[in-house]
Amino acid sequence: RCSRDWSSDVCSSDLCHGNICRSPLAEVLIEAAIAADQELAGRISVSSAGTSDEHVGEGMHPHSASVLRSRRLRTTHRARQYTPAVAATVDLVLAADRANLRHARALHAAADRHPEVRLLRDFDQSSIGQDLDDPWGEPIAAYERTATAILAAIPGLFSELRGRL
């Protein structure tokens, strides 16, 4: 269940451009970390979306899937676009970069519901204000670096979430 009342369950959405590389990586890595956390498990839902419609319905990029498979995490995914209907189901949006942050805020400006929008890397004290590099078109090592950057943000994100529950 998703609610703006932080005393109950929280839903977050990871947001990038096409929803095939960065945001599915973030969704699955954060989801796995939540499942392993006794305080947050069952209280936080995670999803992902893209600001573009160009990959809607596609699976995640093969390199993203490979990075997750190597960690024995799920690789099933279908890209979707971040729309007002999706925005209505989330409390917190974790944008991969400043362009997607602006896009989400513009979409919310015209909607009745205004989830909080933050850069994902703002939860890593050493990377505040930095974009999550887009590995699309790069070798698998770039996807590993993206996963490492996502993992570095999880402790700060969890600290924030615990403070809100």
Catalytic (active-site) positions: 16, 22, 134
* Alpha carbon distance 136, 20 (integer Å): 9
Question: Which residue, 107, 51, 103, 104, is CA-closest to 81?
Answer: 51
Residues 93/115, Cβ–Cβ less than 8 Å: yes
* Alpha carbon distance 165, 152 (integer Å): 22
* Alpha carbon distance 104, 85 (integer Å): 12
Distance, CA of 121 to chain centre: 11
Run of H or E including 31: helix 22-35
Run of H or E including 34: helix 22-35
Q: Kindly report the CA angle at 57 between 118 and 21, in degrees rounded to 5?
A: 45
